[in-house]
Amino acid sequence: MRRDGILGDNVSSEASIGLGKNSKTWVKRREKWLVVLGVILHAVYMLSIFDIYFKSPIVHGMDPVKPRFSPPAKRLVLLVADGLRADKFFEPDEEGNYRAPFLRSVIKERGRWGVSHARPPTESRPGHVSIIAGFYEDPSAVTKGWKANPVEFDSVFNRSRHTFSYGSPDIVPIFCGALPHSTWKSYPHEFEDFATDASFLDEWSFDQFQSLLNNSKEDQNLEHLLKQDGIAIFLHLLGCDSNGHAHRPFSSIYLNNVKVVDHIAERVYNLLEGHFKDNRTAYIFTADHGMSDKGSHGDGHPSNTDTPLVAWGAGVKTPKPISGNHSDCGFRFVDEHSHDTPTPNEWGLDGIERVDVNQADISPLMSTLLGLPCPVNSVGSLPLDYIDFNEAEEVEAVLANTKQILNQFLRKSYIKQSHSMYFKTFKPLANYSMVLDKIEELISTKDYQSAMELSENLRKLALQGLHYFQTYDWMMLMTVVILGYIGWIFYLVVHVLQSYTGLPSQMMHKEEAVQTDNKMGKVYIFGSLLMGAFCIVLFIERSPPLYHAYTAMTVFLWTQIFSQYQFLNALLRSFQKEKFVYVIKLLAYCAVSLIVLEFLVYSFTERRLYTWCFLIAGIVAPLYLHRAIPWKSWIPGFVCISCWSLSIFTLMPAEIPDNTFLVVVSGALIILIGLAARWLELHYGENKYWQHILNPELTMLKFQMLFPLQAVLVGLSSVMVPLSTSHRTQKQELLVFHQLTNWFVAGFSMVLPLFSAPCLLSRLTSIFLGFAPAFLLLSIGYEALFYAALGLVLMAWILFENTNLYLSKVSRYSVSAKGVDEKASNENGNRSLELSDARIALIFMVLFNVAFFGTGNFASIASFEISSVYRFITIFSPFLMAALLIFKLFIPFMLVICVFSAITKLIRVPRLGLYFLVILFSDVMTIHFFFLVRNTGSWMEIGNSISHFGIMSAQVVFVLLLFALTNIYTKDIQIKSAASLSRKSV
């Protein structure tokens, strides 16, 4: 069979006529160009999410705002109990005793308390950044690793005269590692041992601080430094976090750690008060995040976002009886929790006013207590209910906080305005200078209440303005990218209609083609001018280079589309002439396609949907087949059983448990499936329902002992699985002979399908058996059964399409008894694509995704269970091990694509045409995933949203490469002459 196109496909002659150039070489060249364009386009647009969703909120160039009041504290102590849940801190133990007696006495006698609300991702670094620097973690950090500083930012420690810090090596160096006016120390990473009680890490931090004070008695310079104002002391207490991960937050070890941090807070307080005796020390105790019941954190559950906050000492108000009214009822914190959340009765603090804050509000609180400028990028609002100031000082403190946030807004506004040809200002702050003047006037006349109201309102507007400029380019960028994706989809539709359907020859005329070149030239000139104009505007605005790429790609695509306006006009005229029934049919196909694609989108987060999908398919498909095929043919029953057998796997856990017995059973089942296929070849060759996929003339042409050899190799691999595993479980080295046997069986079996008969069923059965040994040797449990079940469903798909083909031919030749050749077919036998062929692409996408999610997915820990590679290699080699694991994941994909290729040959349609339909449908899903990308939430949620978008964007390359790889196995599959089979059927 002659092969054309980059994937070994034939392009129909009739389709080629409509292009205006009959040369198949030109068609082949155009297809190559289209694939290259698709790869470039998806690579460029994939980067757009980092300009839209993950743009740094940090801006530099602002001057700090020096407060106009005397600082109440000379030094401040920040105690952060990493991973401490609010409820475990405040509630009593089983005996009714509270776990933090000292801090409870502070709450009742000398300080203020509340719950600090953290914004997801509730991880250690983002939590500490919001506490100490006053802003919520730069979303771009998710792409750069959260333990490294993605940007330089200001913090309370930067503004202090000197900072003393002790604690974890993951946290302390972030804030003090490059700070010249700091003294810090962290313990080695080896100390963080989950097998022990980690509370000793908290004791280590306290001991270092105690040693500092002891050394100051002999070191005059150190003593002088400690007595200066603006001193910050930071103790990072990691024990609760480590014990929560290792032992869960309900364990006695974690709960005892709460007592440890309370005791450390008491000793720190006694040490400092005894050392300085000046009552000029402020204390803040809090946590960066909580801990879920499972010993993890990261998401927005209250157990992770709610952390304790206790403040006392110099400049902090004393306890206040609870008041029934809140001035800001209806306000929601950054974790979306209500301001008026009731205090649980078991906390025993009902009578004392609770003041909840956003985590970023702690930073301006610390700065105000020390009389320091707020960190220049802080977005926290000063919680006045914690500050013991008179009315004039309160106004000055809030005004300093407001000016600092306003300065960020003005800086972002200036940068954007200086780069924009058409600048849209943030109108609510257009008269900010007048408001500031009014506030100063009110302060001078001692109308502090009015000045406070204006200051707080101005601060809220400044925060809104920061968000306005953070998302200033969103609408433009999202419009350009979405138009680009839509243009690409439209361009693919035009290409498929022109190259793979009979529409061009029906609609276009030779005289129209002569006039096309002139008008196409005008379209290209206009497109070039438009692209140039956009590039000039973006250059003047100093936009990033990728902005140029997004715009140029979009303009280029739409220029290509409008260059085909002659064909589009003819298509529109043809569509208007169609009957109403055809329009309804077209709309129905579009609606069903969108429903299937939306189903696939949601299946990325809920894989159990596939269970319902195959349960329903196991009912609908057999009923459809039963209309024309009697049940005694057992084809409808086989389709039902195979679909239902595959439905159970997406209900199973992604963490695959070890079960060698299941792998052995799977090997036996695979051999039985192969035997059944072989029996069909020998006994059903002349059956009218099987004649398209069986060809007795081709079945016996090649190596006669191939099937027994493949069955033996599958059986051998099944035996080698428990044999190899037993050595590992007995802590024995895998014998070299066993390793070589496994490598030989896996490698040799994948070569054998090339020697199988070119009959469709023979070749696919051989491919199924050929990849089975490698998959079995890389399996640890039920995923080996999934391989067998997937093979059955793929066979059911072939039978379904074969039946459809048989019914369509009987219907067609009963109308035309002359037995003419298939319509729209060329000399190679391929016909043009029809509307109903869209189902092939949709079914392929469903099965392709099932191969992806059937036993987990690429991001699943279970999918990367490293123990399976020990059957091939025992010495640690990360690249080889990763290659083996990825190959295991690719095997189901290759089975699906081999069957897809065989079906295109069976129904005689160009495979590349259906490939373009697959990419078209994939990009509809890509647009949806584009809107689902998240820049808030847990790191896992953010990462998953990026990976889902990236996976769909990469399918243009991924599927193409697998097509090219599997074409080695499927290129010489031969199908009987369609015409002869159809006549024979009739």
Residue 900 contacts residue 794 (beta carbons within 8 Å):
no
Tell me how far apart the alpha carbons of residues 417 and 414 are, in angstroms, rounded to a whole number.
5
Distances from the Cα of 966 to the Cα of 97, 574, 767, 961, angstroms: 68, 38, 10, 9
**Tokens, residue 247:** 């032992």
Residue with the two structure tokens 């276009």: 508
- Residue 577: its pLDDT value, please? 77
SS3 894: helix
Tell me how far apart the alpha carbons of residues 838 and 848 are, in angstroms, rounded to a whole number.
15
**Tokens, residue 538:** 């973006």
CB contact set of 776 (below 8 Å; sequence gap of 6+): 663, 666, 667, 670, 714, 717, 718, 721, 784, 787
Residue 286 contacts residue 80 (beta carbons within 8 Å):
yes
- Residue 398: its pLDDT value, please? 96
Smallest Cα–Cα separation from 772: which of 755, 754, 750, 794? 750
Smallest Cα–Cα separation from 190: which of 155, 242, 144, 226? 242
- Residue 940: its pLDDT value, please? 67
Q: Residue 60, by phi and psi: left (phi above 0), alpha (psi -120 to 50) or beta?
A: beta
SS3 283: strand
Query: Strand 162-167 relative to strand 182-186: parallel, antiparallel, unpaired?
Result: parallel
- Residue 230: its pLDDT value, please? 94
Helices (H), 74-190: 86-90, 101-109, 124-132, 156-159, 172-176
Nearest-Å Rg of the Cα atoms of the chain is 35
Side by side, the strands of the sheet bearing 231-237 are 182-186, 162-167, 231-237, 75-81, 281-286, 306-313, 111-117, 357-358
Centre a 10 Å sphere on the Cβ of residue 542 and count the other Cβ atoms it contains.
Answer: 11
- Residue 418: its pLDDT value, please? 86
**Tokens, residue 335:** 């974790």
- Exposure string over 618-650, b if 16+ CB within 10 A, otherwise e: beebbeebeeebeeebebbebbbebbbbbbebb
Residue with the two structure tokens 């089983």: 94
Tell me how far apart the alpha carbons of residues 981 and 685 are, in angstroms, rounded to a whole number.
13
- pTM score, two decimals? 0.78
Residue 822 contacts residue 978 (beta carbons within 8 Å):
yes
Profile the chain (986 residues) by mean pLDDT over runs of 10 residues.
Answer: 40 42 63 86 89 82 91 96 95 90 95 93 89 82 51 86 94 89 91 81 96 92 93 96 90 94 97 93 96 85 92 94 60 72 87 92 96 94 94 95 95 89 89 94 94 95 92 90 94 87 57 53 85 89 89 93 83 79 87 93 87 92 77 77 90 73 89 88 64 62 77 89 68 68 88 87 90 88 87 91 75 48 50 86 92 61 55 67 80 92 89 89 93 76 79 85 87 67 44
Give the phi and the psi of residue 99 in degrees, each rounded to 5.
-80, -20
